[in-house]
Amino acid sequence: MNEFVETLLEMQWHEPKSSYDVVIIGGGGHGLATAYYLATKHGITNVAVIEANYIGSGNSGRNTTIIRANYGIPESVRFYQRSLELYAGLEDETGCWIMHATKGLLWMAHTETGMRAERARALINTACGAETHVVGPQEIKQICPQIDLTGSGRYPVLGASYHVGAATARHDRVVWAYAQGAMQRGVTVLQHTKVTGLLREGERVVGVETDRGPISAGVVMSAVGGNVTKIAAHAHVRLPVRTHALQAFVTNAYGLDFPGIISDSELSCYVSQTPRGQMLIGAEFEPQPSYSMQSTFNSLASCAKKISSCLPFLRELRVLRQWTGICDVSADFSPIMGFTGVDGFVISTGWGTWGFKGIPAGGQQMAELIATGTTPDLIAPFALDRFERDHSMADLGSAGTR
């Protein structure tokens, strides 16, 4: 047996009913976390989570498992810092092993303008509760001895911001921890059930149409990744979202000698080592919008080249597996959470490439919104109507790493 075989949790699947208080479309991290917090914090258990494939089969099972809060605007820093803190307590709270490990994240810079961005990031993050320092080359070398400070002669490392609280956790297990917790309390999770439309009474959404029949609901929440614009269109909600592919790859497993998380804005890539010892490497999303999940050689080649510029030892590592997810990127690179203007239909989307780190706070806040009927302060800045109100939350600087 390897040490990572799941031996703690247990899934309790329930038979579907024809009606629920809340129906959540999308059995990924955000959907299941919302169901979990509805059940645990608000006593709302007559809830169904509907998943087109198996739970965690979308981006929740395809991301690079990085948890961080070092965003570019105060509203985002506060939100992700809440998420980071909830993650840190999730194992105790659920009794599950999500392989959470606080590692720290170095975000490296190679130019004066790059350093300017990292200095700014450190200041605004620390001011908003996410401890981040500027560190010089020597400190970087102490934190991560494998770094070539000359950047293979082309990308000399001038410094970095060091986000102390950044962590990683096993993506599947986060999904399962929330699924188990929700199902234990009576939430129904329906796998392999496709939502084909929304049930409506007038403008109000009153349930979902599925390939296994209609299901009525007091509130319908979309926690869909990748195809959210199509679901929202059933409610006549237009979303400022474009879908882009994001690729990543892992190497074979090696001894656990790589500390922390290394990220790089100029080179647009990042790496960490999984608990199994694999090096998990990702890049920025593809510039061209697409729903394709076909991996490309160009992405592998260029990402491999970039990441080994500052970590030359990676050149000798063998690529195990490359994969692709599709990301809903909003017009301002920030998530969209909350009411949609259509009664009975709420939404959590626009997670782009940073959805995994937002799962606990996103679920917690959406559950509160559904339970109380009012938008919690923490996510009020991320409401859909911000675009109409000209209150967009532009945060491109934080999209450089995932």
Partner 1 sequence: MSDTPTSAPAGRIVVDGLPIPYETGDTVAVAIMRSGGHPKHGGTVCLGGDCPNCSAIVDGVPYVRTCQTAATPGLMVRRHPAVGNPSFPAVAQPDITRTPVTDHVSVSRASADIVVIGSGPSGVAAATSASADGHSVMVLDAHDGNEVVAIYGGPTVIVRRPEGMLHVHALRVVVATGAAEIHPVCPGNNLRGIVTARAAEQLHAAGINLGNAVSIGNAPVGVPCTPITGIIVRFEGSGSVSAVVTVGDDDVEVTTPCTTAIVGLGLAPRDMLSRMSGGLPVGLVGQAAEKFALPPCPTAGTVCPCSRVEVEDLEGVWARGFHELELVKRASLCGTGTCQGGVCGPHLRAFVAHHSGAEPEMFTARPATRQITLAEASADTYTDVFRRSPLHDEHLALGGQLDRFGGWWRPWNYGNHEVEYWAVREAVSLGDVSTLGKLVVSGPDAVELLERLYPTTVADIKPGRSRYVLLLNERGHLIDDGMICRETDSRFVLTFTSGGAANAEMWVRDWAETWGLQVHILDRTMSLAAINVTGPLAATLLQRVGLVDPPKFLQHRHDTVAGVPCHVMRLSFTGEASFELHHAADRSVELWRALMEAGRDLGIKPHGLQALFGLRLEKGHVIVGMDSELDSTPRRLDMDWAVKMDKPDFLGKTALVRTASLPDHRRLFGFTMEGRAPTEGSPIWSDGNVVGHVASSFTSPLLGHAVMLGWLKHTPFPERVQIDGREASVAQPPFYDPKGRRARA
Applying the rule CB under 8 A, the residues between 127 and 156 that interact with partner 1 are: 127-128, 146, 154-155
CB of 257 to partner 1, least distance (A): 6
Residue 89 has a CB neighbour count (10 Å cut-off) of 11
Residues 173 and 6: beta-carbon distance below 8 Å? yes
Q: Return d(Cα 149, Cα 177) in angstroms, integer.
A: 40
Q: Return d(Cα 61, Cα 280) in angstroms, integer.
A: 13
Residues 385 and 341: beta-carbon distance below 8 Å? yes
**DSSP secondary structure, 216-242, as one string:** EEEEEEE--SS-HHHHHHHTT----EE
Query: Does the footprint of partner 1 cover residue 317 (CB under 8 A)?
Result: yes
Do the strands 204-210 and 213-222 form a parallel or antiparallel pair, or are they unpaired? Answer: antiparallel
Query: Does the footprint of partner 1 cover residue 14 (CB under 8 A)?
Result: no
Pick the piece of the chain touching partner 1 (CB under 8 A) from 4-12, 63-71, 83-91, 365-373: 4-12
Query: Does the footprint of partner 1 cover residue 178 (CB under 8 A)?
Result: no
Among 212, 323, 341, 385, binds partner 1 (CB under 8 A): 323
Say which residues have a Cβ less than 8 Å from residue 296's Cβ, sequence separation at least 6.
247
Say which residues have a Cβ less than 8 Å from residue 145's Cβ, sequence separation at least 6.
none
CB of 119 to partner 1, least distance (A): 5
Element (H, E) at 152: none
CB of 261 to partner 1, least distance (A): 17
Pick the piece of the chain touching partner 1 (CB under 8 A) from 1-9, 25-33, 97-105, 370-378: 1-9
Query: Does the footprint of partner 1 cover residue 233 (CB under 8 A)?
Result: no
Query: Does the footprint of partner 1 cover residue 385 (CB under 8 A)?
Result: no
Query: Does the footprint of partner 1 cover residue 227 (CB under 8 A)?
Result: no
Judged by beta carbon, residue 54 or residue 136, the one nearer partner 1 is: 54
Burial class (CB in 10 A: 0-12, 13-18, 19+), 2: exposed
Among 41, 204, 212, 391, binds partner 1 (CB under 8 A): 391
CB of 2 to partner 1, least distance (A): 5
Among 1, 15, 18, 373, binds partner 1 (CB under 8 A): 1
CA angle 189, 190, 194 (to 5 degrees): 140
Query: Does the footprint of partner 1 cover residue 124 (CB under 8 A)?
Result: yes
CB of 7 to partner 1, least distance (A): 6
Residue 87 has a CB neighbour count (10 Å cut-off) of 23
Query: Does the footprint of partner 1 cover residue 238 (CB under 8 A)?
Result: no
Q: Which two tokens stand for residue 315?
A: 């050149």
Q: Scanning residues 53 to 92, which ones bind partner 1 (CB under 8 A)?
A: 54-57, 61, 74
Element (H, E) at 357: none
- Per-residue mark of binding to partner 1, 332-371 (x: CB under 8 A): xx--------------------------------------
Nearest to 88 by CA among 32, 167, 33: 167
- Per-residue mark of binding to partner 1, 17-56 (x: CB under 8 A): -------------------------------------xxx
Among 255, 287, 288, 373, binds partner 1 (CB under 8 A): 255
